[in-house]
Chains A and B, each alone.
Chain A
Amino acid sequence: MAIKRMGSQTVKLLNPPAIISASSIVGPKEGQGPLASYFDKILQDDMFGEDSWEKAESKMMKEAVRGAVDKVDLKIPDINYLLGGDLLNQLMSTSFAARDLQIPFYGLYGACSTMAEALGLAAMLVDGGFADRCIATTSSHFSSAERQFRFPLELGNQRALTSQWTVTGSGAALVANNNEGPYITHITTGKVIDYGIVDANNMGAAMAPAAADTIGRHFDDTSQLPEDYDLIITGDLGRYGRDIASDLLKTKGYEVVKNFTDCGIEIFDWKKQDTHAGGSGCGCSAVVFCGYLFKQLREMKLNKILLVSTGALFSPTSAQQGESIPCIAHAVTIESKKMN
């Protein structure tokens, strides 16, 4: 009998692992957004001195991982596992970063849900006694994602109002057994949910049911209520997806309005920055968590949050074959204090 399980999809970590450091790095556009002051490094040039966007993305991830390790005066060999992923085919950015970092590596693909997935798995490895220190990291890059999923940058087309803007950035969090928080206390693993949305320009609507399902399941499993949280923050539903998810949660009997937002909404000023529905991509919840939320938790301005990274598990091939978009959301509870 697994003693750490609660309900159908949640685990409670008995020795909650701490996030001992976090590092974030973003592109120029994110650096003009409302959260700019929270990021560790803002690039002036989204090529980052490399000769392709994919390599630039990989370099961002390397820098983020090194940044997180340096902050607590550790060395790369002190890290037991690297858990990470990105949006590109065969996890190009992450694999190349892992090649250079030489940390034992688990590559994860959960599309934009990867940050919460990586954090959850890292916490389970540490709580389970399989590792002392793990890095959870993800990255995305606007230009590398556009060319894989959408159109060339210089094409003169119009973006749909529901479309989102892939965040250029990478975040890395170092999870370890430690007495200084914040702590990861619960993990709710999502199921793949597909309500038959086909439009890849409306990922918020495609992902909202997955987010609502995971959040609702989390409350059911842990017998908590939305009011128990200072903040419930989804990964990249955008403005329209957030409203849909909130409506869907209402039908499940959970009222989430006040303390419910989305990393994609927070990272850009959609009116000024022309990002339509908001930010998206693996990097979106990574940099918002590792930059903004982590510091808020450290300073005790937030005491308990539910980070729900949301991912649309489609590919250019599945979209061209007319398949709908399967989506997933993973939730992790992060508390600033240990409650025992």
Chain B
Amino acid sequence: MQKKKQTVQNKKYQQYVEKNSPKPDYFRNCIWAFLVGGLISTIGQFIHNQIEKRMGLSHLDATNATILVMIFIGALLTGIGVYDVIGKKAGAGSIVPITGFANSIVSPAMEFKREGFIFGVASKMFILAGPVLVYGITSSVIVGVIYYFIK
């Protein structure tokens, strides 16, 4: 009885908090995400085109090379302390592209250097990217198996 009464009170309070909490400006955030995400993608496409044209790589090889370049740029911007400033404005616009993935690996690696290279850098490196890798790789295997049978 006591417990049930408590939950009603809690629910009421949570609704009250929900109602009174400030809401982010979703429209402005979406615009920023669209512009920055688009800009990163455009840079990626430009690099892709240049690599394909100048280095004589096939379309797929050029894609892989572009990914490497973009990851390097993301890691570099994280290292010199710029990526978090971009991310603050852009939100998903700078998280979703592969540069954001690089940021999510490099930032904990930098942060935990003081705990040593084994238990710090190496083990903490994937605290944010780990779930993406686990579920990304797992789902790609599942999709691959399904594809094999329905082909």
Interface residues of A (CB under 8 A from B): 51-52, 147, 151-162, 195-197, 202, 205, 209, 240, 243-244
Pair A240/B22 contact, Cβ less than 8 Å: yes
Q: Is B78 an interface residue (CB 8 A)?
A: yes
* CB-defined contacts of B83 to chain A, threshold 8 Å: 154, 156
* CB-defined contacts of B91 to chain A, threshold 8 Å: 157-158
Q: How far is the CA of A245 from the CA of B111 in the complex (A)?
A: 36
Stretch among B6-14, B59-67, B137-145 lining the A interface: B6-14
Pair B103/A161 contact, Cβ less than 8 Å: no
Pair A157/B9 contact, Cβ less than 8 Å: no
Residue of A nearest to B88 (CB): A158
Pair B14/A196 contact, Cβ less than 8 Å: yes
Contacts known (A151-B128, A158-B91, A195-B9); A52 close to B84, Cβ less than 8 A: no
* CB-defined contacts of A205 to chain B, threshold 8 Å: 17, 21
Q: How far is the CA of A52 from the CA of B114 in the complex (A)?
A: 7
Q: How far is the CA of A240 from the CA of B23 in the complex (A)?
A: 12
Interface residues of B (CB under 8 A from A): 7, 9-11, 13-14, 16-17, 20-24, 29, 78-79, 81, 83-88, 90-91, 94-95, 100, 103-104, 106-108, 110-112, 114, 128
* CB-defined contacts of B103 to chain A, threshold 8 Å: 154-156
Pair A243/B20 contact, Cβ less than 8 Å: yes
Residue of B nearest to A274 (CB): B88
Contacts known (A154-B78, A162-B22, A240-B22); A196 close to B10, Cβ less than 8 A: yes
Pair A244/B20 contact, Cβ less than 8 Å: yes
Contacts known (A161-B22, A195-B10, A240-B22); A155 close to B17, Cβ less than 8 A: no
Residue of B nearest to A206 (CB): B17
Pair B107/A240 contact, Cβ less than 8 Å: no
**Contact pick for B17, options A147, A157, A197, CB 8 Å:** A197
Interface pairs (25), CB distance under 8 Å: A51-B114, A147-B111, A152-B128, A154-B78, A154-B79, A154-B81, A154-B106, A154-B110, A154-B111, A155-B87, A155-B104, A156-B78, A156-B84, A156-B85, A156-B86, A156-B88, A157-B95, A158-B87, A158-B91, A161-B24, A196-B10, A196-B11, A196-B13, A240-B22, A244-B16
Interface centre among B29, B79, B111 (most CB of A within 10 A): B111
Pair B20/A240 contact, Cβ less than 8 Å: yes
Pair B111/A152 contact, Cβ less than 8 Å: yes
Q: How far is the CB of B77 from chain A (nearest CB, A)?
A: 9
Q: How far is the CA of A205 from the CA of B107 in the complex (A)?
A: 30
Interface majority SS (helix, strand, loop, mixed), chain A:
loop
Pair B22/A152 contact, Cβ less than 8 Å: no
Q: How far is the CA of A195 from the CA of B18 in the complex (A)?
A: 13
Pair B10/A153 contact, Cβ less than 8 Å: no
Pair A157/B87 contact, Cβ less than 8 Å: yes
**Contact pick for A197, options B14, B79, B87, B112, CB 8 Å:** B14
Residue of B nearest to A51 (CB): B114
Q: How far is the CB of B80 from chain A (nearest CB, A)?
A: 9
Additional pairs, 16, CB under 8 Å, beyond known A147-B111, A157-B84, A244-B16: A151-B107, A151-B128, A152-B107, A152-B112, A153-B111, A154-B83, A155-B107, A155-B108, A156-B78, A156-B103, A157-B91, A159-B88, A196-B10, A196-B11, A196-B13, A240-B22
For the complex of A and B, the 9 pairs showing the least CB-CB separation, nearest first, are A156-B87, A196-B10, A152-B111, A154-B107, A152-B107, A205-B17, A155-B107, A161-B22, A195-B13
Q: How far is the CA of A157 from the CA of B103 in the complex (A)?
A: 10
Q: How far is the CA of A244 from the CA of B18 in the complex (A)?
A: 11
Q: How far is the CA of A240 from the CA of B108 in the complex (A)?
A: 31
Q: How far is the CA of A155 from the CA of B10 in the complex (A)?
A: 34
Pair B13/A209 contact, Cβ less than 8 Å: yes
Pair B17/A202 contact, Cβ less than 8 Å: yes
Residue of A nearest to B115 (CB): A52
Q: How far is the CA of A157 from the CA of B9 in the complex (A)?
A: 34
Q: How far is the CB of B59 from chain A (nearest CB, A)?
A: 30
Pair B21/A202 contact, Cβ less than 8 Å: yes
Residue of A nearest to B10 (CB): A196
* CB-defined contacts of B87 to chain A, threshold 8 Å: 155-158
Q: How far is the CB of A286 from chain B (nearest CB, A)?
A: 25
Q: How far is the CB of A85 from chain B (nearest CB, A)?
A: 22
